Structure 1
Amino acid sequence: MARAIALVGFDADDTLWHSETYFHEAHAEFERIVGGYVDLADAGVHDRLLATERENIKLFGYGAKGMTLSMIETAIALSGERISAADLHRIVGLGKSILQHPVELLPGVRAAVEAVAATHRVVLITKGDLFHQERKVAASGLADLFQRIEIVSEKDEKSYARLFKEFDVTPGAFAMVGNSQKSDIAPVLALGGWGIHVPYPLVWALDRAEIDPAHPRFASVPNAGAVPAVLAGWDA
């Protein structure tokens, strides 16, 4: 049977397994460390760290390593260079803890990916630190379900367009599944593809966007288990 959707992409972090939870916990601990030097209520620690991360993405890219360097830079600036070597060491430890966190699949993920892989070509498309993402993919036990695993520096229209060309599919024959409306869904819709949003309770501030729920090629589902049914409806 000919299908409208020929290729399906899955995001990794916070779509297939937990990730932002660990970053969120690290940010909270970072604020406790910096709180030994400044008044958290007045210093705007969260906003200062976010601004530093936004500026540093172009240098360090996404992921725990870039976040750790941004935390160190922010802590030094906020403390007026008074922060101790011991506390800087604690911040480095926060980054290491994220890089070593266990890979815990979200409920129903394996069954959902298996169901989609039984009827479509599937690829995994994720951004972030290369070593960290490779380790998580290997530990997930899902690698064998994907025809290709793409770890990119940015998930934008250019990256998706390259994927379409390499797989010889039109944008209208591609659907992307992910938790980030900004990087997983919006670029694909802009190119003419389809997007399935699977929300995660926590969303990084720099990865937020809002897509019109009435968009004809967009669907939002409560969990990964609902993805195969959406694709079946679009195929029909």
Structure 2
Amino acid sequence: MEISYKDIKVIGFDADDTLWVNETFFREAEGQIQQLLLEYETPNKIDQELFKMEMKNLPLYGYGVKAFILSMVEVALELSNYNISSKKIEAILKIGKNMLEKPVELLDGVEDVLSVMSKKYKIILATKGDLLDQERKLEKSGLIKYFNHIEVLSDKQESNYSNLLNQLGVKPSEFLMIGNSLKSDVLPLVNIKSNAIHVPFHTTWVHEQVSEKETNGKTYKTIGSLKELLNVMEY
């Protein structure tokens, strides 16, 4: 079924892994923590326990690198039966700090797309994660000039988006969300009768993955790269 975007007035862009690289750094950090804790457990077990800890802590810490650092420290303490050295705890903290200091690597075509789209539509950034970290990345990205509104959400569920649209004074039919996560950037919008375009990234956090059953019957478009958005929106 052909999807029409003629009524769109506001376009929201996700940030991490839609505008710039993010998840790749988490995969690298997971490999580093595995090496640090090899004397206590296998890499697969460490990975499993870290994910379980992240899920346990999500309601308390939310999303982002800082939450990830705390979960890494807790896993290290538990797997070592609280015998891990202070040097290794320091090394874990260093992994996290290195993540926070990573340069912002824009994905292909991002600035060209934002430059063109911002001339016709109101453009907003709608992301989740740690406020300070997202502000830092946005500032380093050089993209802030294209956005009319910046929203760092605690989560991306239907209620979060409904509140955001109310705040912006825009109808669901007039809003289009662009992002790499079906769970966070696409399905909640479709469920509130809004619009979404999926731009997959090469790696996805397990927590953000969805089943075929969850996407069955849902109306949205998938494109291979952000650059294809200009064709979709008929530029």
1:150 and 1:64 map into 2 onto residues whose CA distance is 18
Are 2:230 and 1:228 equivalent residues in the alignment? Answer: yes
Which of the residues 15, 19, 41 maps onto 1:16?
Answer: 19
Are 2:218 and 1:196 equivalent residues in the alignment? Answer: no
Native 8 Å contact 1:37 1:83 kept in 2: no
Q: For residue 230 of structure 1, what is the amino acid of its counterpart?
A: V
1:36 and 1:87 map into 2 onto residues whose CA distance is 12
Alignment of 1:56-75 (within 5 A): 56-75=57-76
Q: CA deviation at 1:178?
A: 0.3
- Map of 1:163 onto structure 2: 164
Native 8 Å contact 2:187 2:218 kept in 1: no
> Which stretch of the first structure deviates more once superposed, 158-167 or 127-136?
158-167
Native 8 Å contact 2:50 2:72 kept in 1: yes
2:24 and 2:58 map into 1 onto residues whose CA distance is 20
Q: CA deviation at 1:40?
A: 3.5
1:39 and 1:221 map into 2 onto residues whose CA distance is 38
- Map of 1:127 onto structure 2: 128
Alignment of 1:133-144 (within 5 A): 133-144=134-145
Q: CA deviation at 1:14?
A: 0.4
Distance 1:171 1:165, change over 3 A: same
2:119 and 2:61 map into 1 onto residues whose CA distance is 37
Gaps of 5+ in 1: none
1:183 and 1:40 map into 2 onto residues whose CA distance is 28
Distance 1:213 1:199, change over 3 A: farther
What SS does structure 2 have at the residue aligned with 1:232?
Answer: coil
Q: CA deviation at 1:214?
A: 6.1
Could you list the per-position Cα deviations for residues 61-101 of structure 1 after superposition, in whole angstroms to 9, with x for gaps in the alignment?
A: 10111101101111111111121111111001111011111
Q: For residue 218 of structure 2, what is the amino acid of its counterpart?
A: H
Distance 1:93 1:46, change over 3 A: same
What's the RMSD between the two structures over aligned residues? 1.6
Are 2:211 and 1:206 equivalent residues in the alignment? Answer: no
Q: For residue 173 of structure 2, what is the amino acid of its counterpart?
A: G
TM-score w.r.t. length of structure 2: 0.93
- Map of 1:215 onto structure 2: 218
Could you list the per-position Cα deviations for residues 17-44 of structure 1 after superposition, in whole angstroms to 9, with x for gaps in the alignment?
A: 0011111100110011010223446xx1
Q: CA deviation at 1:212?
A: 3.3
Q: CA deviation at 1:213?
A: 7.1
Are 2:205 and 1:187 equivalent residues in the alignment? Answer: no
Q: CA deviation at 1:228?
A: 2.3
Percent sequence identity over aligned pairs? 36
Q: CA deviation at 1:45?
A: 1.2
- Map of 2:55 onto structure 1: 54
- Map of 1:153 onto structure 2: 154
Gaps of 5+ in 2: none
2:149 and 2:131 map into 1 onto residues whose CA distance is 15
What SS does structure 1 have at the residue aligned with 2:103?
Answer: coil
2:100 and 2:182 map into 1 onto residues whose CA distance is 24
Are 2:29 and 1:26 equivalent residues in the alignment? Answer: yes
Are 2:28 and 1:7 equivalent residues in the alignment? Answer: no
Number of matched pairs: 229
TM-score w.r.t. length of structure 1: 0.92
2:215 and 2:41 map into 1 onto residues whose CA distance is 41
